[in-house]
Amino acid sequence: DPRYAEQPRARELHGRAAWPERHPGQHHHLLIIEETATPAPVRLKAEAGNRCVTLSWPAVAGAAGYHVYRATGDGPFTHIASLVTHPRFLDSDVAGGVTNRYVVSADGPHGESADSPEATAVSPILHLPVVPVASTNAQLNSPRAKGF
């Protein structure tokens, strides 16, 4: 059938379909569908506090939630939280004086993203202040202590 002899053919061009040159009088429509991965979070910040670390990062467009991973020292990362709905997380399960490394990933329409760049924090070791104890001699010399 001659009507189908001039049908344009799609060709591959860097992962996209592209039509050959247009033929006069013919109109062609091209629908390009590109599936992209969910973008990874960027600029992860880790701020150490008293036996805790606060993480924050800019929101990822289209993310339904985030996953948080922690590694201690040079150890492997462990998944510590999922379905975090805001780009902020408080890790309150940290020991003082230990290096904690963190990465975050976004959960979006195309699945879980790659990990964010790593952020590191060391929660301080708190030293309790020395509180002087009142002398017992002062209590023994008080008027009430004379009856003993």
Burial of 127 (0-12, 13-18, 19+ CB in 10 A): exposed
**For residue 6, what pLDDT is reported?**
42
Higher pLDDT, 83 or 29: 83
Distance CA 40, CA 114 (A): 5
**For residue 37, what pLDDT is reported?**
84
Task: Quick: pLDDT tens for 88-133.
Answer: 999 999 999 999 999 999 999 889 999 999 999 998 887 666 677 6
Q: How many CB atoms lie within 10 A of CB 114?
A: 12
**Average pLDDT of 20-26?**
55
Task: Quick: pLDDT tens for 32-57.
Answer: 555 678 999 999 999 999 889 999 99
Main-chain dihedrals φ then ψ at residue 146, nearest 5 degrees: -70, -15
What is the SS3 string spanning the chain? CHHHCCCCCCEEECCEEECCCCCCCCCCCCCCCCCCCCCCCCCCEEEEECCEEEEECCCCCCCCEEEEEEEECCCCCEEEEEEECCCEEEECCCCCCCEEEEEEEEEECCEECCCCCCEEEECCCCCCCCCCCCCHHHHHCCHHHHHC
Of 13, 31, 47, the residue nearest 121 (C-alpha) = 47
Distance CA 69, CA 137 (A): 56
